[in-house]
């Protein structure tokens, strides 16, 4: 898979820094409801980003990847810049009206975070689409470093609480983009405000606008749980749950590394005669890889959790494994996104996402009162299983997957792992099970898989200079 080392450095480096911030936040923000409120604001920002960006992060990358004409590239980047200026301006006007007629706590900070995240999302993908993966990676690493440094200054040093978290995220993200752009000058060189972008704009929006309803459904499926928890269980419980989500976010990050490298490779391989064999090999490899990640990460986290978080947030450990399992199922379902992207058939993404959103909302209403946070977690697991099943069948129009019988092993290992995770209270037993499970997974997987996927994933980062 092309440039997986580049994506690994960018995503793992930034996620490690973000990961290290969680213990600091839990120690300096003692009121779990405060952290719960910040998480709620972040959740709303994630809902609004697709509408502020018009999903141009996907459109810019997809169209730039296909483009080999410099004039056309300038048209694409110019259209993206025009659109971002317009949508950011509209967002600011709406926020002003909200400030005049409502009283929303930290509204200005939330608007700043929304704009900063939107700009980073879009222009990072522009860098990537223009073939500068180093710039794409640098934005991620610099923003994460900035969040770390500014969090230490604002939260630990000045004691600004969640205001400090907001400011650290805003300043770091904007500063990272400015530094990288000053170095590579890709956006300024490809943005020409006077040229016509009408035709390319129509083509891009025809690709991206069908993704907007899907993004809303994705939000309902993946992030609306915070609203349910806040409404039914309170901001303090949401604060504890938010810590567990951030820890399991590392699994999503590792899946994103694979997806980003897989994205380019899949598009290039889609019209090849051995397409089905290629897609099948990657899917079987992906299952082994995700199982290795979840088993190793969940048990290492359990062993070290006592000193990683403050006692007020310790209950979040109980949510780690099932949330990690739901992240694995979601990653497998997201694998099938590539069929729609390769065929530029994005409207077909909508039925599955709508179905998943309906299942998610219905189950949250049904389960959160009797089961609390575990009702939300069960809802996630069922929702992603429904999504995976639907897409498995729908993908047959684009490629046909053949499952390797060995793939049953990682599935069984993941299911069995829940027993020692919840019932073992011995560090020695946890370590013994983790080593045994990882050894079994590495031994049982096919030699070609081990060499081409696992070894490459680990070693390729050393090849980037």
- For 347-378, the pLDDT digits (tens) are 777 788 889 889 999 999 999 999 999 999 99
CA 320 – CA 374 distance, rounded (Å)? 11
The pLDDT confidence band at residue 460, using thresholds 50, 70 and 90, is: very low
- For 74-104, the pLDDT digits (tens) are 898 999 999 999 999 999 999 999 998 888 8
Q: Output the pLDDT for position 371.
A: 93
pTM of the model: 0.76
Letter string b/e over residues 259-278, b meaning 16 or more CB atoms within 10 A of that residue's CB: bbbbbbbbbebbeeeebeeb
CA 398 – CA 375 distance, rounded (Å)? 35
Tell me the torsion sign for CA atoms 135, 137, 138, 144: positive
Neighbour-count burial of 63, counting CB atoms closer than 10 A to its CB (0-12 exposed, 13-18 middle, 19+ buried): buried
Least confident of 32-46, 58-72, 300-314, 379-393: 58-72
> Around 368, how many Cα atoms within 13 Å sit in the side-chain half-sphere?
21
Q: Output the pLDDT for position 246.
A: 83
- Domain boundaries in the chain? 56-208, 215-465
CA 63 – CA 69 distance, rounded (Å)? 11
Least confident of 28-32, 157-161, 175-179, 252-256: 252-256
Residue 463 reports pLDDT greater than 60: no
Q: Output the pLDDT for position 465.
A: 39
């Amino acid at each position: 898979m092309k440039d997986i080392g580049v994506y690994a450095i960018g995503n793992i480096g930034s996620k490690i820094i973000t990961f290290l911030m969680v213990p600091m936040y839990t120690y300096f923000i003692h009121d779990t409801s405060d952290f719960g409120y910040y998480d709620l604001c972040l959740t709303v920002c994630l809902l609004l980003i697709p509408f502020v960006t018009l999903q141009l992060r996907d459109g810019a990358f997809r169209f730039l990847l296909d483009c080999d004409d410099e004039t056309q590239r300038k048209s694409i980047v110019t259209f993206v810049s025009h659109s971002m200026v317009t949508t950011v301006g509209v967002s600011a006007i709406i926020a002003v009206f909200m400030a005049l007629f409502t009283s929303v706590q930290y509204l200005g900070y939330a608007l700043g975070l929304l704009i900063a995240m939107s700009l980073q999302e879009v222009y990072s993908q522009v860098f990537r689409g223009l073939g500068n993966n180093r710039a794409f990676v640098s934005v991620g690493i610099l923003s994460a470093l900035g969040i770390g440094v500014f969090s230490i200054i604002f939260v630990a040093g000045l004691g600004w609480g969640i205001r400090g978290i907001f400011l650290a995220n805003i300043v770091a993200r904007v500063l990272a983009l400015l530094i990288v752009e000053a170095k590579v000058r890709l956006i300024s060189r490809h943005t020409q405000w006077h040229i016509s972008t009408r035709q390319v704009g129509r083509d891009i929006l025809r690709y991206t606008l069908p993704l907007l309803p899907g993004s809303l459904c994705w939000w309902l499926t993946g992030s609306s749980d915070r609203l349910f928890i806040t409404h039914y269980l309170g901001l303090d419980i949401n604060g504890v749950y938010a810590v567990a989500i951030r820890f399991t976010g590392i699994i999503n990050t590792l899946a994103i590394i694979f997806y980003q490298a897989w994205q380019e490779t899949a598009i290039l391989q889609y019209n090849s005669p051995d397409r089905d064999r290629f897609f099948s090999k990657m899917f079987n490899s992906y299952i082994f890889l995700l199982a290795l990640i979840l088993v190793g990460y969940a048990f290492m986290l359990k062993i070290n959790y006592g000193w990683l978080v403050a006692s007020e947030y310790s209950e979040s450990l109980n949510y780690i494994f099932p949330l990690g399992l739901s992240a694995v199922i979601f990653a497998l379902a997201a694998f099938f996104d590539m069929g729609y992207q390769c065929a530029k058939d994005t409207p077909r993404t909508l039925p599955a996402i709508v179905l998943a959103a309906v299942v998610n909302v219905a189950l949250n209403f049904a389960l959160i009162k009797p089961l609390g946070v575990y009702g939300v977690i069960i809802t996630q697991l069922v929702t992603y299983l429904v999504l995976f099943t639907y897409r498995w069948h729908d993908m047959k129009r684009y490629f046909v997957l053949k499952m390797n019988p060995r793939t049953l092993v990682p599935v069984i290992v993941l299911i069995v792992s829940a027993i020692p995770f919840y019932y073992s209270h011995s560090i020695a037993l946890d370590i013994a099970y983790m080593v045994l499970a990882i050894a079994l997974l590495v031994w049982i997987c096919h030699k070609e898989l081990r060499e081409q996927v696992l070894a490459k994933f680990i070693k390729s980062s050393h090849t980037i200079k």
